[in-house]
Structure 1
Amino acid sequence: MQNINSSKNVNRRGRFYLLMGLFVTLGGLFAVIIGVLLFLLPVLGTDLSTPVGICLNIFGFPLTFVGLGLMFRGSTLQKDNPLAYEVGESMRSFLGSDARYTYVRNLSRRTLGYIDGVLVGPPGVLVLRTVDHKGEWHNERAEWRVRDKKGRLRPASDNPTRECARDVYALRKFLAKRGLDQVPVYGVVVFVSDRVKLRGQGSIIPIAEKHTLFQILSRNYLSDERIKSPKVRATVDALVN
């Protein structure tokens, strides 16, 4: 099994945000400068220069900040996902050197969004949502509750099941646009921390800890080989190229 970082797509997306942010920032600054000049040099006449200058400044200042935000976003995109890498290395314990499997972590594309990790192999595609939550977590269908310091179960502020489901649907749509709509897409939520206690009842998406991942995947994802090698390769290429 290959455990690869989709850094090329991350870098490409980062450059897109930086360039887009630069153009937006320059556009905003240009509007602000013209607006200020209209105040100082009312070339359109006093009655017209002032309202036009005000409008340009009202438009230009927010646009400048939006551009700066895009540039900041582009420069701070996550270069790797340590949790996803750790889960990938853990899967080597049962997938070993089987070259038919490719694990792509830190997947980030404009048409797909961000996904922690995707395993591609003969059984199909598996979306992994990796979290580092600690404590006691209870999953009932699509909802999560966590035990607080007073011993009471309260609704969790984070819902990895819904996040994983969103990623699964997004990936199915992404693959369908590339003629790979027959590739089955599964999902699993993986808790990486050793200091977590999981309880599940009727989970819509399987949940697992690192040491139970093989057991959980053997029940569904790994239970059958569903796609041939050419389609496996085409799926990997669609994700990383």
Structure 2
Amino acid sequence: MRNVAPSRSLVRRANQLKSLAFLVGAVGVFALALGLFMNAVPIVVPSAPGYGAYTLASDAILLAGILLGITALALAIRAFTWKVDNDLAKITADALTQQMNAPNVGRRLDDRYVFIRNVSKFQIGYVDAVLLGPPGILILRILDVEGSFANEFADWLRQTGSDQAPEFLPARIDPSRETIKDMNKTREFLAARGFDNLPIYGLVVFTNPRVRLTADRPHVPITHVNHLYANLRHDYLAMLDRLGDEQIEAIERELCGGRCQ
């Protein structure tokens, strides 16, 4: 299994965003300076017929400069805080590698399988990780939360009482819905690029050692990272192979914006 991330593509996108922030900021500074100049040094005298239009234009230019400056600041913050990798995805990939390399584990994931960390596309949004291989595309939603959770069908509940007198209330998390949303957006993204009827699955992975999970026919399978490979063997890896090597490589390029590193 190749453990990769589209780091180059994300770094390139962050640099493009920095350039855009600089350009917008430069235009904003110019507009702000022009607006201040027009307000401080009126070119049109108050008695002139066009004085009202002049003051309106100067105020509009001043406001545009302020708005462009705020926009440039927001773009710069986004560019400099752009995540080029996902720590939870790294933990998950490392755990999966250790589990499948354990003695007497049986089937292992060869190089046809690609674990892609930190997929970030404008049309898809942000996906923690994708496992791509012959059975299809597995979308992973990875969480680092602690506590006791019950997943019943599509509902998520959190235990608030003691184990002797447990009480379950609706949880603030809903990874099943988020995973299904990621699956649908990924399907739409790839379909727009000529990949129709792709097998796309979902899995919710918990990494915190202080989490307890129970499930009753969940809409999206769930697992702890310590049992990830066992879950894959009985679910994802049990599926029939439906993607060829060329399809896998092409899908990888689309998700990574090129070949992942």
Confirm or deny a common fold (TM above 0.5).
yes
Could you tell me whether the CA contact under 8 Å between 1:9 and 1:107 is conserved in 2?
no
Could you tell me whether the CA contact under 8 Å between 1:9 and 1:108 is conserved in 2?
no
User: 2:228 maps to which residue?
Assistant: 213
Indicate which of 105, 111, 118 corresponds to 2:117.
Answer: 105
Query: Distance between the aligned counterparts of 2:138 and 2:57, measured in 1?
Result: 55
Q: CA 1:28 to 1:215, structure 2 compared with 1: closer, same or farther past 3 Å? A: same
Query: Distance between the aligned counterparts of 1:235 and 1:4, measured in 2?
Result: 14
User: 2:43 maps to which residue?
Assistant: 43
Larger radius of gyration: 2
SS in 2 for 1:190: strand
Point out the more displaced range, 132-141 or 142-151: 142-151
User: 2:95 maps to which residue?
Assistant: 90
Point out the more displaced range, 12-21 or 122-131: 12-21
TM-score by structure 1 length?
A: 0.91
CA-CA distance at 1:31 after TM superposition: 2.0
User: 2:180 maps to which residue?
Assistant: 165
TM-score by structure 2 length?
A: 0.85
RMSD, aligned CA: 2.0
Query: Distance between the aligned counterparts of 1:57 and 1:72, measured in 2?
Result: 23
Query: Distance between the aligned counterparts of 1:157 and 1:27, measured in 2?
Result: 42
Q: CA 1:39 to 1:149, structure 2 compared with 1: closer, same or farther past 3 Å? A: farther
CA-CA distance at 1:30 after TM superposition: 2.2
CA-CA distance at 1:120 after TM superposition: 0.7
User: 1:238 maps to which residue?
Assistant: 254
Alignment of 1:143-182 (within 5 A): 143-148=155-160, 152-182=167-197
Q: Name structure 1 gaps, 5 residues minimum.
A: none
Q: CA 1:154 to 1:25, structure 2 compared with 1: closer, same or farther past 3 Å? A: farther
Alignment of 1:220-235 (within 5 A): 220-223=235-238, 224-235=240-251
Report Cα offsets for 1:14-45 as digits up to 9, x if no partner.
12321222222223222221111111111244
Report Cα offsets for 1:152-184 as digits up to 9, x if no partner.
433222222222112111111111122122321
Question: Structure 1 counterpart of 2:123, which letter?
Answer: T
User: 2:103 maps to which residue?
Assistant: none
1:18 is aligned to 2:18: yes
Could you tell me whether the CA contact under 8 Å between 1:164 and 1:188 is conserved in 2?
yes
Could you tell me whether the CA contact under 8 Å between 1:106 and 1:115 is conserved in 2?
yes
User: 2:129 maps to which residue?
Assistant: 117
Query: Distance between the aligned counterparts of 2:155 and 2:236, measured in 1?
Result: 22
Q: Name structure 2 gaps, 5 residues minimum.
A: 101-106
Q: CA 1:182 to 1:45, structure 2 compared with 1: closer, same or farther past 3 Å? A: farther
Task: Tell me the percent identity.
Answer: 32
Query: Distance between the aligned counterparts of 1:170 and 1:230, measured in 2?
Result: 22
Point out the more displaced range, 120-129 or 62-71: 62-71
CA-CA distance at 1:149 after TM superposition: 6.7
Question: Structure 1 counterpart of 2:83, which letter?
Answer: Q
What is the number of equivalent residue pairs in this alignment?
241
Query: Distance between the aligned counterparts of 2:70 and 2:186, measured in 1?
Result: 32
Question: Structure 1 counterpart of 2:244, which letter?
Answer: K
Report Cα offsets for 1:55-76 as digits up to 9, x if no partner.
2222321221121111110111
Q: CA 1:41 to 1:16, structure 2 compared with 1: closer, same or farther past 3 Å? A: same
Query: Distance between the aligned counterparts of 2:14 and 2:167, measured in 1?
Result: 42
Question: Structure 2 counterpart of 1:225, which letter?
Answer: D
CA-CA distance at 1:8 after TM superposition: 1.3
Query: Distance between the aligned counterparts of 2:132 and 2:45, measured in 1?
Result: 66
Point out the more displaced range, 150-159 or 106-115: 150-159
SS in 1 for 2:139: strand
Question: Structure 1 counterpart of 2:249, which letter?
Answer: R
